[in-house]
Each structure stands twice: as C-alpha cells, then as structure tokens.
C-alpha cells in the first residue's frame, strides 16, 4: 500500500491553468453551439432557444449550465419563449441528474454580472449542480483543490445518453 501524497488527475484543467492559446476567441457560449462538435464542446442537448452544456471546469461532478443562444448579460432581455425554454431545460437537466446520479439535492441559479460572481459575465448562464450529503470536504479550503470523482468524458457519455433517452419521445 502506497503512503504519502496522493495524486489528483484532472488533465482537462491544464488549458485553464496555463491559459494555453491566450487569444480571445469571443464568447464561448456563442461560438461553441455554432460548431458541430458537441462531444468535444461538452454540449449535451440543443433546444430551440437554449442549450445544455457541461462546465469544463466543474465545481462538482456533473456541473452543467443551461444557456440561451441569445448573447446577453441582461436577464430582462430574454423573450418569454427563451425564458420558458431555459427553465424547461433546467427541469430536464435535474430529471437527467436524478436518473443518472441519484443526487440528494441540487445547487441551481444564475450569477448575474461580475459583482454577482459570474465567471463569464457577458452571457447569461444558469448553473445546475447535483449535490450529495457529505460531498464537500476540506480540500477546497486547505488545498485550494476540488476533487471530481469521475473523468469528464465518462460523465458526458452517461449524461448524453440520458438526455437523448429523455428527449427522443
């Protein structure tokens, strides 16, 4: 049995940590859905006015976002149709999480504006995170590290299958 320091494996974070590329590619919430590489871009579901995408830098396993196609930072600029579909996709995401992960709770919501904690403040996005009793620990506080229990590609495959099953009817 190996003792001592344990390794955390999260290779997808290297681009974020090292800021590889360094060029401004525009709003990722506008460019990603225009591409036809959903798996590479972690897009799980496309609706008429909004889509569901996994967070490449998740706070917890399965962290998803529901995002309108319209580029806006102002919630009041969304039409009623866009607002309705946004919330319908939040409900669908929660239904999929219940099916795939059986979480004990959820964190959901918007961070509006930089002062409100938005990492990408120029484009509204609704966070949906599955949660379990005891899923928080000392790592973020003491080691400034989050532990994600499953490789993001494996999580994508599970969630994508469930989204497809739920929406094919």
Binding-site residues for substrate: 55, 127
Check if 63 is active-site.
Answer: no
Task: DSSP for the chain, please give it.
Answer: ---SPPP---GGGHHHHHT-S------HHHHGGGSS-HHHHTEEEE-SSEEEEE-SS-SSTT-EEEEESS--S-GGGS-HHHHHHHHHHHHHHHHHHHHHH--SEEEEEE--SGGGT-SSTTS--EEEEEE-TT---SIIIIIS----SS-HHHHHHHHHHHHHHHH--
- Of 45, 63, 125, 151, the catalytic one is 125
Quote the longest CA-to-CA distance of the chain. Answer: 58
Pick out the residues of the known binding site. 55, 127
Which residues are marked as active site?
A: 125
């Amino acid at each position: 049995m190996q003792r001592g320091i344990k390794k955390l494996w999260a290779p997808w974070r290297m681009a974020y940590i090292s800021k590889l590329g360094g060029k401004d590619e525009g709003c990722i919430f506008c460019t990603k859905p225009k591409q036809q590489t959903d798996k590479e871009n972690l897009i799980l579901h496309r609706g008429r006015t909004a889509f569901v995408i996994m967070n490449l830098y998740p706070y917890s396993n399965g962290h998803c976002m529901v995002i309108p196609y319209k580029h806006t930072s102002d919630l009041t600029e969304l039409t009623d149709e866009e607002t309705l579909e946004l919330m319908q996709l939040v409900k669908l995401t929660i239904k999929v999480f219940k099916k795939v992960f059986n979480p004990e709770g959820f964190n959901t919501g918007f961070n509006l504006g930089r002062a409100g904690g938005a990492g990408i403040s120029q484009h509204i996005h609704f966070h949906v995170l599955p949660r379990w009793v005891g899923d928080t620990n000392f790592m973020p506080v003491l080691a400034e590290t989050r532990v994600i229990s499953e490789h993001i590609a494996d999580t994508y495959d599970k969630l994508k299958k469930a989204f497809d099953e739920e929406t094919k009817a």
